[in-house]
């Protein structure tokens, strides 16, 4: 089953860019080959194919939902109205994108991982301490959405390659 993890957010707006920050960290983690990670930036209709080309979609975005900043939630939205309020820094919102994608055909199994944020604090390239501290929980939530063992996510790809090479050498040694 092919899956796409799509981070949405505006990096210039601090915490509003949490989705992009999250997918950039996911790139450093081991994920199966059928999982693609995309920095969706501020959204846009060019992302519509993401809703058609994959069996599963995991979205990561900031939410202005009134919860304590840094609160991580996972939803399985079916309709655009199921999406929580977001900030207005996107060119188009996730709700608009979902509504347009639904017109094109059936939507894939979709999970939405949100991080509650406060109102934008102006231009900033960094996350607030509360949102930065929430990133490990965001990554764990994404792994749960993909039905992946959260412990495997802690293994960096180069470490995994080294382990595999060592195991193959050991197997080869036992044959001789």
Contact 74, 68 (CB under 8 A): no
Q: List strand residue ranges (DSSP E) for 64-156, in order.
A: 72-75, 109-116
Cβ neighbours of residue 153 closer than 8 Å, sequence gap 6 or more: 29, 30, 31, 139, 140, 143
CA distance 112 to 131: 17
Domains defined for the chain, CATH in brackets: 3-175 (3.40.50.1450)
Q: List strand residue ranges (DSSP E) for 12-167, in order.
A: 35-39, 56-63, 72-75, 109-116
Q: What pLDDT, on the 0 to 100 scale, is given for residue 129? A: 95
Per-residue confidence in pLDDT tens, the chain, 176 aa:
799 999 988 889 889 999 999 999 998 888 888 999 998 886 677 777 777 788 999 999 999 888 999 999 999 987 777 777 655 544 456 677 777 777 777 778 989 999 999 987 788 899 999 999 999 999 999 999 999 875 544 444 445 555 556 656 665 565 55
Which DSSP state fits 139?
H
**By C-alpha distance, which of 60, 55, 64, 51 is closest to 120?**
64
CA distance 11 to 167: 41
Contact 37, 23 (CB under 8 A): yes
Is the CA virtual torsion 143, 148, 151, 153 positive or negative? negative
């Amino acid at each position: 089953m092919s899956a796409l993890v799509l981070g949405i957010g505006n990096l210039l707006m601090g915490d509003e860019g949490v989705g992009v920050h999250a997918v950039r960290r996911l790139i450093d983690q081991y994920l199966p080959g059928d999982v693609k990670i995309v920095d969706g930036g501020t959204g846009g209709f060019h992302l519509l194919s993401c809703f058609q080309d994959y069996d599963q979609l995991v979205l990561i975005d900031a939410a202005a939902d009134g919860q304590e900043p840094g609160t991580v939630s996972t939803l399985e939205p079916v309709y655009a109205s199921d999406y929580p309020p977001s900030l207005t820094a996107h060119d188009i919102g996730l709700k608009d994108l979902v509504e347009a994608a639904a017109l094109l055909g059936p939507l894939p199994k979709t999970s939405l991982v949100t991080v509650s944020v406060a109102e934008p604090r102006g231009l900033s390239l960094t996350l607030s301490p509360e949102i930065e501290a929430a990133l490990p929980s965001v990554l764990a939530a994404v792994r749960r959405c993909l039905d992946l063992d959260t412990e495997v996510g802690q293994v960096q790809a180069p470490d995994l390659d080294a382990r595999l090479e060592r195991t193959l050498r050991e197997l080869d040694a036992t044959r001789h």
